[in-house]
Structures are given as structure tokens and as C-alpha cells.
Amino acid sequence: MSVADLSTANTAQDPSAPPPLAATRPVLSIAGLVKRFGAHTVLDGIDLQVERGETVCLLGPSGSGKSTLLRCINWLEVPDAGRVLLEGETIGVSTGGVVMGDGQLSRMRTRIGMVFQHFALWPHLTVLQNVMEAPVHVQRRSVDEVREEARALLERVGLSAKHDAFPAHLSGGQKQRVGIARALAMKPSLMLFDEPTSALDPELVGEVLTVMRDLARDGLTMVVVTHEMSFARDVADRVVFMDAGAIVETGAPEEFFGAPRTERARQFLLRYSNGAATPGETR
Amino acid sequence: MNGFAIVWSERALMLSGLANTVVLSLLGTLASLLLGALLTPVLVSRRRAPAFVALRFVDLMRCTPFLLLAYIVYYGLPSIGLRFDNWGAGLFALVLYNSAYMAEILRGAWMAQPREPIEAGLAFGYSGLRLFRRIVLPPLLLAAGPVIGNQTIQIIKDSAFLTIIALPELTHAASSIQSRRYIPFAAFIVAVFLYWGLCLLVEAAVAFGKRLAEARQ
């Protein structure tokens, strides 16, 4: 890992960012998380911890609740029960158990970067403006400083030539790399990737995974929902396998892919190795 | 003396009428757009009661003839203690009426927008008015530009009704000239061409907005 690398500014290694106490706590701690849509229980008591610098890949069949879990972490979906702690602080619920006001929830969300399946770039802004928008208008950082960082981030994801392009004129892979740069510009403590390559043409998947691989290597804390088994195998520190709203199995990728402990995980891996993957899955 | 020559001799009155129409339409459009934009989130809100009230308001305005509304504001409201001068009444009626249309236009554009960029706004720490102003509204304005332009033309034309509450706008000026000098054709045809000129300006603005939108498509 190069010390001069820009990523250090975006991760926990930045000595100025996290308070020393937080360094010993897990970045993310989920306990007893339940989410229902009507009568259907999508998440049925999830417990999960993610340590600083860790890359966790969430795997599982369609409808197993992976994306919903990810969206509960930053409260895009409001959980029905359980707690989500970011660096020891409960998200969404203030002390005393009342639901957080919008402002307080928003401030916590700025510490969690998110990359979306369908990119979700802001169509009225250029590439550079997309990256600068939230740091300037939400975090209220100086425009000049943010512009410098945004340029560096875009260079890092290989899009220096596209500053002034609008999202509509980019390929899917380029859009997703802007999406990643936009999230990194917030200097988040945690990055969530919601099937970041599922909406891409197969030949564009590689360029996005390469960027993500670099981020993982540089020690960014990442939770990645993906169907890219080889990415999970090579990059994840830990694999979490979900089925029917529960975590069925969790472990190092070599264990999970080499010798899955549960029958459901075996079946799942078998389907993928048979090429019955569903890369175009939507929520 | 030729009718058009008479209008020419009254050009100061005609131009001040035109200027008042421009001021009325401009203020009316900007205020309607602003209020309409603020009303839009209420229309699409999941909170039932405010959404219900907003929807009924929009419905009511869309089904009320503007002339009647202007009568009510100028002649009716004083009887319940709300008194405006003719400018105040005219602008109030114009804005009340057209903010309902603007809200409905923006609501329609909102329905056609993808949800994800707004979610991204939430995830990046936007909420409330800042979310609406920075993330939600700009694509709506770009998408709805031509329809907003149409509504602006409607506002310019509706402002002509305000002659009935003695607001000295363009139609009022033309009708005052024709009644004193008995030249209805020349006075009114000149007014029509002046309205047309204003609409051409609006269309130029819409074309500019269209270019902005197309660059982003």
C-alpha cells in the first residue's frame, strides 16, 4: 500500500478523522435486525460486525435480503427491530429510543458512502459536479479543497478526461466509477456497494471491479452485495452467505468457497458454478 | 387619421400597458413557479391529510375560470375583510391560480423521474428543503421546461383578464384607447401583436432550456 496514495485520506488510516476510541470498535455492528414488507419478513434477525479495514461480501440467492440489509444500514429502509451501530453510535434512533430527526440521520449518513446498482448519479450535474456536490453542499467543505480532491479521485478511477461530461453520455462502467468517486469524496468510514456491477454489460464489469479491488487493498471498510463470485473469492476478507432473510454461513472466502459448511451454501455455489447465475438481478 | 396612427400617438399609454403586463407576467410566473415547487412535495407526500388538501386545492383552481377568481379576489374578499388594491388583487389571483398549475406540472414530471438519484441524495446526507432544491427540483425543471413555458404564455394571456379590476395592463390600455378614439380594430390588433412578441420571448427561453436539458440526455 502506498502511503502517498489518495485513498489513505478516505479511510480510517487518516489519523485526523476518527476519534481514537472508535478505532478499537467495529465500524459497523448490526444486532437483531428485522425488516418486514407487509406480512413478508425480509430480514429475520441479522447480527453482523464489520471491523475497520475489512471487506465483507454479502452473497446469496435473489430475494435473500442482501440489498435490504445494505439499505437498512443507512436507514434507506427503516428496520422494524434491531439496531445498527456506526462506530458505536446507533443510526436512526436517538438516545431514549425516539426516531432521529432528519438532520441528525442525514449527518450520520454522510459517514456511510453508498454505490448503487443503477448508479443513481444526479443527471443535471456534470461528472465533476456529481463528485463535488455533497461534500460542498452537505459537508460544507471549501469548494477549492473539494475540487482538488474530486479531480484526484476521478483520476484515480480513470476518468480525468470526463470532468465536464454529463452522466447520460457515459458508459455504464464509467457511470459506476463516477458513483464510486462520488461516494469516496465524502471520506466515509464505511462504503456500501449494492450490486455495483449487476447492471453492467459483461465487458464493463472488470473496470469497476478493478477499482473496488484497489479500494479493498488500500484498507477501505467495505460491505459489498455482489454476484461476482470470483471478486468475493479474491477480495473479501470475509464472506457472509444469506438465504431467506438470515445469515446462514460466514467465514473466510477460502473456507466458504472451498468447503461450505451448510447444504444451502453448497447448493448456491453449485448453481453459480453451473453458470445459472443471475447477474441482472434487481431488487 | 388612420387608426394605427392614433395608436402611435398613444404609444406612451400602450407601452406602459405593455410594461405592466411584462411585470405582472414575470412576477406571476416566478411566484407561481416558486409556490408551485413548494406545493409539489406536498402533492406527492405520503402523508395523507396534507396531500389531500393540496390535491383539492389544485383541482379547485384548475376548474375555476380565472375571470371568476379575479372577481372573487377583488370584489368578494373585501366583504370578509381582505382588501387588496388592484395590483395586489391581480397578482394574488394570478399567483394563486397558476401555482396550482405549476405544482401539477412539476408533479407530473416528478412521477416520470427515476427514484434512485433521490435515494442517493438521502444516502449522501440530503434531507428536507436542501434535498428538494439541490437534487429533486433541477431535473424536474429541465424535464418540465416546455410545459412551464406553455403555462407562462397562459399567464401572460390570463393577465389580460385583469383589465376588469382596472389594472392598467396592455389590454386595459388598448381598450382605453379604443373607447376614447373609436378605433377598436387598430388598438386591439396592436395589442395582439405585442402579446405575440412576448410569447416569442418565452419561446426563446424555452428553446434555451431545451438545449440545457438535451445536453444532459
Separation in Å, CA of A135 to nearest CA in chain B: 9
According to the model, what pLDDT value does residue A102 have?
85
Residue contact A138–B215, C-beta within 8 A: no
Which of residues 84 through 123 in chain B touch A, CB cutoff 8 A? 114, 116-117, 119-123
Residue in A with minimal Cα distance to B214: A168
| CA A214 distance to own-chain centroid | 14
Residue of chain B whose alpha carbon sits nearest to that of A131: B124
- Decide if pLDDT at A173 tops 90: yes
Q: Is A122 close to B216, i.e. CB distance below 8 A? A: no
pLDDT at A2 over 50: no
Give A103's contacts in chain B (Cβ within 8 Å).
127-128
Q: What is the pLDDT of residue A275?
A: 55
How confident is the model at residue A227, as a pLDDT?
A: 92
> pLDDT band at residue B1, thresholds of 50, 70 and 90?
low
* Residue B103 exposed, middle or buried by CB count within 10 Å (0-12, 13-18, 19+): buried
Q: Label residue A23 by pLDDT band (50, 70, 90).
A: low
For chain A, the residue count is 283
Residue A14 predicted with pLDDT over 60:
no
Q: Provide the pLDDT confidence category of residue A112 given band limits of 50, 70 and 90.
A: very high
Average pLDDT over residues B193-214: 94
- The reply to whether ipTM tops 0.90 is no
pLDDT tens-place string over residues B37-73: 999 999 988 889 999 999 999 999 999 999 999 999 9
Which candidate from A74, A112, A124 shows the least CB-CB separation from B142?
A124
By CA distance, what is A127's nearest residue in B? B216
- CB-CB under 8 Å, A139 with B125: yes
Cα separation, B121 vs B98, whole angstroms? 29
Single pTM value for the model: 0.85
Contact in structure between B88 and B70 (CB atoms under 8 Å): no
Write out pLDDT tens, residues A252-277: 999 999 999 999 999 999 988 765 44
Interchain CB distance below 8 Å, A118 and B116: yes
Query: What pLDDT does residue A233 have?
Result: 93
Separation between Cα atoms, residue A75 and residue A84, nearest integer Å: 9
Please name the residue of chain A whose CA is at the shortest distance from the CA of residue B138.
A124
